[in-house]
Structure 1
């Protein structure tokens, strides 16, 4: 099913926040990385972290681990990992992580502001530790926290049978980025039993029939995590991603929609993400 690129662009221009408008323009070659950087900057706090609903499921102003991860993703895709904001994020992560290196799921003030019902404190480090370690391994391999965070990740991977859907997802992000390629490849193989025969993982406690698909678990080609999936599974998932374009031109999500702002902001961001993924796999020419 061909992508209606013009409709997708109209959707972003009509509904998405400025940051995602500039992300799409950069993807299409009509904006500079500096535009993305300036749109990201207002979400930054004085402590070096990010908040202000940069991650749409947490609406408060305080710095959040999910927002830090979101910011690192934006900086990476824009080729801006040398920006000083990355150092600020690295320092903030070091400050909020536990002694064992684990990073909490939500910030201390999350409960004081509107937030998704699943955004609640967890004991110890969360799955975000995997993703932040992956992002900083690429952007700041000398970050003070990274050794502790990486040790936490390897220790958690020693118990693969205890990993739920999102822990597997972010563990694969970590294994795709960590420098120890031999150990990463061996560990990826040990995660295979956590994935269903169809290449998906059921999300315990999620919406009805919510599952993480092959492209969610392994979004980029030619990575270690891709060995867990057949070419047919990836192609079928790409077909599904193409078919998921909505009548208004955008893409949407399958988790709980709990607030109008959350829904609108996620849809804009995910529409840019969908186009980026399809372009990376040769399904759309941007």
Structure 2
């Protein structure tokens, strides 16, 4: 049967390998939780529910143009993929599976809970990839990673909402993913990192709703949070961070996750939303 390049063909991957041993190897490879999670997100979050293109299956993040996109941090990406490719090949796993499993390992390390994983992704070749047709998948903004390529007439938070729609995410899933990714340390600008990096918890939402902090604009997409009692700058944020406190619907969701007795719910919901994105193209 002939492959039609416009269908983004992917040769099916191997499902029969030792997942637990592969996870152990990934844990000891020297990559940080942030690097593991951010690479998996970069690979999977290109999925578009509108036309079913993109996603982690195929591992096209290692090919042009995706490995050159600024949002994917090319230097960091190259280092991560080199290590994961060597590790995955030892166990007979595709790089696509290894990337997603590395993200699973990162999330598990951040919360000490089991994260579901579905194997079977394949690795697409350059001959199976029309690189020019993938240019349109480049994220010009990714609120989940606090990335904005340049200023646009559309606000960063609206572009984040568009990305969430393409990923078929609900408002609650979008909210829990942004808060969780910030606690893991994912932010292209460094803004919105208010908690101990690498520990998945609802602390980010508590900081967001802290009434002792007064926010002031420092740029078109940047803010300083100053303590009302001391006047000192205690944190920085982007519009996509602060919309979860300013928009009434998103704030209501944030308030649920910020409750002292809802950390377990936050972590559970993050894992569910994370798995949904990772498996979005497994159809």
Which TM-score tier does this pair reach, normalised by the shorter chain? Answer: under 0.3
Q: TM-score, normalised by structure 2?
A: 0.28
Structure whose residues are more often strand by fraction: 2
